[in-house]
Amino acid sequence: MNNKKEILNKVNNQQLLIGVVGLGYVGLPLSVSFAQENNRVLGFDKSEEKVLKVNSGENYIGDIQDEDLKSVVENDFLSATTDFSEMKNCDVVLICVPTPLDRFRKPDMSYIESACIEIGKNMKRGTFICLESTTYPTTTEHFMLPIIERESGLKHGDDFWLAFSPERVDPGNKEYFTKNTPKVLGALTGDGLEIGEAIYKLAIDHVHLVSSPRVAEMVKILENTYRLVNISLINELALLSGKMDINIWEVIDAAKTKPFGFQAFYPGPGVGGHCIPLDPFYLEHIAKKFNFDLTMIHTAGHIDMLMAHRMTLKVTSALNRHKKAINGSTILFLGVAYKPDIDDERESPALKIIDEVINKGGNVQFHDPFIPRINTPGNNQLKGVELSQDSLNNADCVVITTNHSEFDAGFIEKNSQMIVDLRNLIKTATDKVYKL
* Sheet with 92-95, side-by-side order of all strands: 78-81, 40-44, 17-21, 92-95, 127-131, 160-164, 183-187, 207-210
Is residue 308 a contact residue for its own copies (CB under 8 A)? no
Is residue 313 a contact residue for its own copies (CB under 8 A)? no
N residues, the chain:
436
Tell me how far, at minimum, the Cβ of 238 lies from its own copies, in Å.
Answer: 10
Residue (292 or 411) nearer to its own copies, CB: 292
Is residue 258 a contact residue for its own copies (CB under 8 A)? yes
Q: State the alpha helices, DSSP H only, in 256-388.
A: 279-289, 295-321, 349-359
Residue (52 or 246) nearer to its own copies, CB: 246
Identify residues 196-215 at the interface with its own copies (CB under 8 A). 206, 208, 210-212, 214-215
Closest CA to 232 of 316, 295, 314: 295
Identify residues 284-303 at the interface with its own copies (CB under 8 A). 286-287, 290-292, 294-296, 298-300, 302-303
Known catalytic membership, residue 96: no
Tell me how far, at minimum, the Cβ of 217 lies from its own copies, in Å.
Answer: 9
Identify residues 111-130 at the interface with its own copies (CB under 8 A). none
Identify residues 24-83 at the interface with its own copies (CB under 8 A). none
**Residue type at 311 in one-letter notation:** M
Identify residues 87-106 at the interface with its own copies (CB under 8 A). none
Is residue 145 a contact residue for its own copies (CB under 8 A)? no
Tell me how far, at minimum, the Cβ of 81 lies from its own copies, in Å.
Answer: 33
Residue (290 or 381) nearer to its own copies, CB: 290
Tell me how far, at minimum, the Cβ of 304 lies from its own copies, in Å.
Answer: 11
Is residue 430 a contact residue for its own copies (CB under 8 A)? no
- Which of 29, 43, 107, 137: binder of its own copies (CB under 8 A)? 137
Longest Cα–Cα distance of the chain, Å, equals 79
Distances (CA, A) of 188 to 215, 242, 383: 11, 50, 49
Residues binding its own copies: what is the number (CB under 8 A)? Answer: 66
Cα separation, 139 vs 106, in Å, equals 14
Of 90, 116, 130, 275, the catalytic one is: 275
Q: How many helices (H) and strands (E) does the chain have?
A: 14, 15
Contact present, 204 and 18 (Cβ < 8 Å): no
Is residue 216 a contact residue for its own copies (CB under 8 A)? yes
**Residue type at 315 in one-letter notation:** V
Cα separation, 318 vs 326, in Å, equals 10
DSSP string, 187-240: ESSHHHHHHHHHHHTTT-S-EEEES-HHHHHHHHHHHHHHHHHHHHHHHHHHHH
Contact present, 299 and 306 (Cβ < 8 Å): no
Contact present, 135 and 101 (Cβ < 8 Å): no
- Which of 2, 263, 381, 428: binder of its own copies (CB under 8 A)? 263
Is residue 182 a contact residue for its own copies (CB under 8 A)? yes
Cα separation, 21 vs 38, in Å, equals 19
- Which of 55, 81, 82, 230: binder of its own copies (CB under 8 A)? 230
Residue (60 or 226) nearer to its own copies, CB: 226
Is residue 411 a contact residue for its own copies (CB under 8 A)? no
Residue (147 or 296) nearer to its own copies, CB: 296
- Which of 38, 125, 240, 372: binder of its own copies (CB under 8 A)? 240
Distances (CA, A) of 425 to 117, 212, 389: 48, 44, 18
Cα separation, 240 vs 199, in Å, equals 50
Is residue 426 a contact residue for its own copies (CB under 8 A)? no
Tell me how far, at minimum, the Cβ of 252 lies from its own copies, in Å.
Answer: 7
Is residue 246 a contact residue for its own copies (CB under 8 A)? yes
Residue 216: φ, ψ to 5°: -65, -40
Tell me how far, at minimum, the Cβ of 426 lies from its own copies, in Å.
Answer: 16
Q: Which residues make up the interface to its own copies (CB under 8 A)? A: 137-138, 168, 170, 173, 175-176, 181-182, 184, 206, 208, 210-212, 214-216, 218-219, 222-223, 225-227, 229-230, 232-233, 236-237, 239-241, 243-248, 250-252, 254-255, 257-263, 283, 286-287, 290-292, 294-296, 298-300, 302-303
| Residues carrying an active site annotation | 275
